[in-house]
Every structure is written in C-alpha cells, then in structure tokens.
RNA sequence: GGUCUCGUGGCCGAGUGGCUAGGCAGUGGUCUGCAAAACCAUGUACAGCGGUUCGAAUCCGCUCGAGACCUCCA
C-alpha cells in the first residue's frame, strides 16, 4: 500500500490561510508548479532557500509514493526593471554590462543555477520549461483573454482589465487585497498612460526599437508580460487546474495574483488548489535581494570567503541549517547560527554512522515504529522539518545511550532505526550522503584513514608505556589538522572535520 | 500612508489554551593518565500593559519594536 494512503499530509494553503488535508486531483498523482528564477545573475543563498524548501516538498511527496510531476520554469525573457512603459530589460542590461549576447547571459546563469542547486543536492524538476520556448502558448492565452473581453490592446501592447475582471471575479483573493484599496494606494508612477487603470498589468508589451528580445504577434513586435509565462507553462504541462503552486513569498503579489486572474480569465477554471509560499532568508535582519546587494552567494559559504563568515561550511550543513527552520518562517542567516547547526549536524551523522556497530540486546528500550510515525507526523504537519529534526535528535540520544550500555536495541530494531533515520535524512531532507559522511570514503581519504589508524596504534602503544608526552603530541597535532581522536571503551575512534 | 506577518531563555529555532520541543553555548557530575566524545543533572523563556478563562507564551484589545508586500525580486 502506498504511503500516502495511510499518512494524512496537511498543507498550509495560502489561498485559504488554513492547513488543509492534501487531496490530489488524480489519485496517486501530484502536479506541482514552482516559479523559477530570472537568469540574469548568480543565485544567492536566499533564492536557494526557496528551492530547497520546495525540494523538501517534492521529496516528501515522492516519499509518500505519489507520482509527482514537478514543473519549474526558467525566466529567460527579459522583463523591464519596473512597470513603467520605458526602460531596459534586466537581461539585456546585464548583456550590455558583460558584453555578451542576451542568450549568453541566459545560458551562463542557467548553468550556474543548476550547478548550485545540484551542489545543495536538490532533485531537478520533472520539466524545466523556458519562457522563450513558450511564446506561442503565451500569445494564445492573450488571445483567449481578449476574446473574453478581459483584456484590451493599446498601441501594440495588451493589458489585462483588472476592473472588468473584478466585476465577476475577485482580484486580490490570494493576497487579501481589495481593488478599491489598491486604487487608493497606487504609487504615482509616471508613464502609465496606456493603461485604463493603474492596476491593469501587461500581457504583451510592444518592443521598443532597442529591445533585443522580440517576437511577432497579432499586435505587432513585442514580448510577453512577466506573469503570463507561468500561466502558459503551468497549464500546458499540468492542466487548467492542478494541485500545488509554489514560489517565494515575495511573488504572492502581484505575480501569483495575476496568474490566478489570467488562468481564470482564459480557462474559466480556478487554476490552483494549493498555493504554497516559502518565506525569506534574511541577512542582517533584512531580506536578501540581488537589487540591494544584501546577499550572500552559495560559493562564499562553501569557501568561507565572505566578511560575514568565520569559516567555510559544506552544502549539507547549509541545507541542514535551513531545514532547522520551518519553510514559512523568516530565517535569519548568521555565522553563529550556522556554526551551531554544523555541530548538531555532525553529531547526528556520527550517531547514524554508529548504528551498525551497536551491541544488540534481547529487548529494546525504544519504540522504533512509534519513532517512525512521529517522523511522518512531523512532515505531515505542513512539512515541519524542524520538528522532524528534533525527533531525529531523540534517536541520536538513544543510539549514544545504547553505545554507552545505558539503553537497549534488538538487532531488528537497530536495522529498522538505521533505515528510518537514513530515509528521513537522505531521502526526505535531501542531505547529500557523501557530504555528511564525516569519514570520507574516496580513495585519497581511505589512505588518510589508514594513516590515522597507524598513528592511533603508535599513540596507544605510547599510552600503554605511560609515555603521555608522545601520545598527547600525536593527538594534539592531529586535532590541528582537523582530525579528532576519541578514546572510547578501550578503542580509539577518530573523525575528520572540515 | 495602506495591507499583512512576526516579537520565545546567552544564540538559533519549534510549539500555540493546562503535559520537557530540539540544536548550539554555559554550569555540576560520571567515565578517562589527561583530554575529547558520550551519558546524567541543571535555565525566574515566551516584547510591554490590560482583558477573557478554573487556567494564556498560546485567545481578544491597546502600546512599543521588527520585517514583508504595495515597483523587478525566491
């Protein structure tokens, strides 16, 4: 029997503001769309948090034995830097700054995006469509919205008529905004003369002569509006109505609001059952953002080359750090917090590694089945990874107690425990196994292990002779290299720390 | 200015009407040649002020503080 039939997953739905039991449209199948990045710059750690959050969702849904189709777009069409009529699109601007073709920019930063997410051990999505690959689909949607009378053309551009839409539907349903309030609070942007009303948003924009990314359309040469690509690609691959749509909190308004309006206007259907929004990663208490420069790059974490960092951290540690907070909470990044996460992480990994060497007993003083269900329960409660991690540390305590002879596990339970912890840590949380292994296993590292074993042997001989000067010298010099010796039950163990 | 969210012990961070969250750091102990690790023990925590309740960190109101969105952003 598939796991989803006996595990009741609840997801916080941004649309209703409540945790709701997940019921998929097609039994056993989930369609999930997540807004991807605009590839005009390197991804920063804040971007990564969102994609790691949805990777957790993707992984857990798969662990529940759902067949998941996960679609995440690449925005490679240039969009304007603000909602004004004039202006340069951000990809074209970056191309000018780097003296490259726009598509070279797109390629360069798409590759960067993939590499970084792979380093964090994210699964690739099932389909990763690009905006420029779906111009025809986008034009078709614009046509259908015009046919419904909910969009109008002006001077080669097409705008969505929010007021007209709001007569029969509710614009602002997702973000809790009212059109009247929006009208009253609109910032006075210049150059919005083409729109009937400031809330209207572009479905298609006329390309200025200097605009490099341009396509022919029934309304002339232009390019699609930013909100449109997600509607086009989500409906193409997941249908007019699908299960889950995710994205960063900052996309809730206006982007996702506009997607709902476009979807409803063109198909008449409510496009999404569950809206999920991942919260921001902050640095110095402020949202990380490319535009303000308040951000930190993943590679800076891995090298430690950033003024905010005292040392380098592995991708697995950074991922673990993020999963220690719930995806809907703001998480503040700091070196101190990362260090604390690292220590806990290695303690967890050390315990996991020790399970296979535990002494077995006739009876168990720990209910492994109940433990497994607690892990499921944590994840079933809106993907509560911090609670899952708290449970894992209960198991760490148990393992260490068994090792110390203060608790008992049968062989069967030890095997089961190893499987459960392994599943949740590596499959669900997506911790990269090789990065988490304190004692590395590659060839070079094996030689290191052999060398360390030899030194341990020498040291123990010195200790047996009460030559503590020699034994301490060996231990102290090894710790300086990051190799830590631990004397336990007459046997010396070691761990290599990065 | 408008809308919304949040304020938890030295730090990070769950929980959300009564039952120890967890991690890191600290303190005492066990073990050890000494360490380390591990185990055991250990914290006047829920921004402030009122209110509801037998009982509130948890619900309501106000005050203060922080953040997000309202313009491209994960």
Residues A53 and A178 in one domain: yes
Residue A258 assigned to a binding site: no
Complex-level ipTM = 0.95
Residues A342 and A229 in one domain: no
Nucleotide nearest to A495 (CA to C1'): B37
Residues A423 and A449 in one domain: no
Number of domains in chain A: 3
B35 C1' to A471 CA distance, Å = 11
Residues A117 and A186 in one domain: yes
Residues A449 and A432 in one domain: no
A75 SS3 class? strand
pLDDT score, position A435: 67
What are the DSSP calls for A198-257, one per residue? TT-EEEEEEPPTT--S-B--TTSSEEE-HHHHHHHHHHHHH-SSEEEEEEEGGGIIIIIH
Q: Please indicate, yes or no, if residue A314 is contained in any of the structural domains.
A: no
pLDDT score, position A88: 74
Residues A419 and A450 in one domain: no
Q: Please indicate, yes or no, if residue A300 is contained in any of the structural domains.
A: no
- The encoded tokens of residue A448 equal 């290191």
Q: What is the CATH number of the domain that holds A380?
A: 1.20.120.640
pLDDT score, position A89: 83
Q: Please indicate, yes or no, if residue A327 is contained in any of the structural domains.
A: no
Residues A268 and A197 in one domain: yes
Residues A55 and A203 in one domain: yes
Give the number of residues written for chain A.
498
Q: Please indicate, yes or no, if residue A258 is contained in any of the structural domains.
A: yes
β-bridge mates for residue A282, sequence order: A287, A332
Q: Please indicate, yes or no, if residue A213 is contained in any of the structural domains.
A: yes
Residue A290 assigned to a binding site: yes
Residues A409 and A453 in one domain: no
- The domain boundary residue, chosen from A281, A299, A326: A281
pLDDT score, position A86: 57
- The rounded average pLDDT for each run of 10 residues, N- to C-terminus, in chain A (498 residues) is 94 93 96 96 96 98 98 88 63 89 94 97 98 96 97 95 94 90 65 78 89 91 94 97 97 95 96 97 89 89 91 95 96 94 95 93 94 96 97 96 93 96 97 66 62 84 88 86 79 76
Domain, as residue range, for A459: 443-496
Residues A275 and A339 in one domain: no
Q: Please indicate, yes or no, if residue A286 is contained in any of the structural domains.
A: no
B28 C1' to A405 CA distance, Å = 23
Question: Which among A488, A392, A493 is positioned nearest to A438, based on CA atoms?
Answer: A493
d(CA A309, CA A358): 37
pLDDT score, position A132: 95
Q: Strands (DSSP E) along A262-349, which ranges?
A: 272-278, 281-283, 286-287, 331-333
- The encoded tokens of residue A246 equal 């995710």
Residues A453 and A391 in one domain: no
Q: Please indicate, yes or no, if residue A320 is contained in any of the structural domains.
A: no
Cα angle A84-A86-A89, degrees, rounded to a multiple of 5:
90
- The domain boundary residue, chosen from A436, A452, A476: A436
Question: Which residues, 6+ apart, have CB-to-CB distance to A110 below 8 Å?
Answer: A39, A74, A76
Residue A230 assigned to a binding site: yes
Q: What is the CATH number of the domain that holds A181?
A: 3.40.50.620
Q: Please indicate, yes or no, if residue A179 is contained in any of the structural domains.
A: yes
- The domain boundary residue, chosen from A436, A454, A469: A436
B54 C1' to A275 CA distance, Å = 41
Nucleotide nearest to A248 (CA to C1'): B74
Residues A419 and A460 in one domain: no
């Amino acid at each position: 029997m598939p796991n989803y039939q006996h595990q009741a997953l609840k997801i916080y739905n941004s649309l209703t503001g409540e945790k709701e039991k997940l019921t998929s449209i097609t039994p056993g199948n989930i369609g999930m769309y997540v807004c991807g990045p605009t590839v005009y710059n390197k991804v920063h750690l804040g971007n990564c948090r969102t994609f790691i959050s949805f990777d957790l969702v993707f992984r857990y849904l798969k662990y529940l034995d759902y067949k998941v189709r996960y679609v995440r777009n690449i925005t490679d069409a240039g969009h304007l830097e603000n909602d004004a009529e004039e202006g340069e699109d951000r990809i074209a601007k970056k191309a000018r700054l780097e003296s490259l073709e726009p598509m070279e920019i797109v390629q360069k930063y798409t590759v960067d995006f993939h590499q970084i997410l792979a380093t964090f051990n994210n699964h690739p999505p099932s389909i990763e469509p690009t905006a420029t690959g779906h111009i025809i689909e986008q034009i078709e949607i614009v046509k259908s919205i015009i046919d419904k009378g909910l969009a109008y053309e002006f001077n080669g551009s097409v705008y969505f008529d929010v007021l007209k839409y709001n007569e029969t539907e509710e614009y602002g349903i997702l973000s809790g905004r009212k059109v009247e309030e929006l009208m009253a609070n609109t910032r006075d942007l210049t150059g919005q003369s083409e729109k009937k009303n400031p809330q209207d948003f572009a479905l298609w924009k006329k390309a200025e002569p200097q605009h490099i990314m341009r396509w022919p359309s029934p309304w002339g040469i232009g390019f699609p509006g930013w909100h449109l690509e997600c509607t086009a690609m989500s409906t193409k691959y997941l249908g007019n109505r699908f299960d889950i749509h995710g994205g960063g909190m900052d996309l809730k308004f206006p982007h996702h609001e506009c997607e709902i309006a476009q979807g409803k206007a063109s198909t008449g259907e409510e496009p999404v059952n569950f809206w999920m929004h991942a919260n921001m990663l902050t640095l110095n208490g402020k949202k990380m953002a490319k535009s303000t420069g308040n951000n930190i790059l993943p590679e800076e974490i891995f090298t430690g080359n950033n003024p905010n960092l005292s040392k380098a951290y592995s991708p697995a540690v950074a991922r673990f750090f993020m999963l220690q907070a719930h995806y809907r909470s703001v998480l503040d990044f700091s070196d101190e917090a990362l260090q604390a996460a690292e220590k806990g992480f290695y303690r967890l990994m050390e315990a996991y590694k020790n399970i296979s060497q535990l002494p077995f007993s006739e009876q168990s003083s720990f209910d492994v089945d109940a433990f497994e269900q607690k892990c499921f329960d944590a994840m079933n409660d809106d993907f509560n990874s911090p609670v899952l991690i708290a449970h894992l540390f209960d198991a760490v305590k148990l393992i260490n107690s068994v090792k110390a002879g203060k608790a008992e596990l049968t062989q069967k339970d030890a095997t089961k425990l190893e499987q459960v912890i392994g599943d949740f840590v590596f499959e669900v949380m997506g911790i990269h196994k090789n990065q988490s292994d304190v004692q590395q296993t590659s060839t070079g590292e094996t030689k290191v292990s052999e060398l360390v074993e030899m030194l341990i042997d020498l040291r123990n001989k010195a200790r047996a002779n009460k030559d503590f000067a020699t034994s301490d010298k060996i231990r102290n010099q090894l710790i300086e290299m990051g190799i830590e010796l631990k004397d336990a039950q007459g046997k010396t163990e070691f761990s290599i720390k990065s």
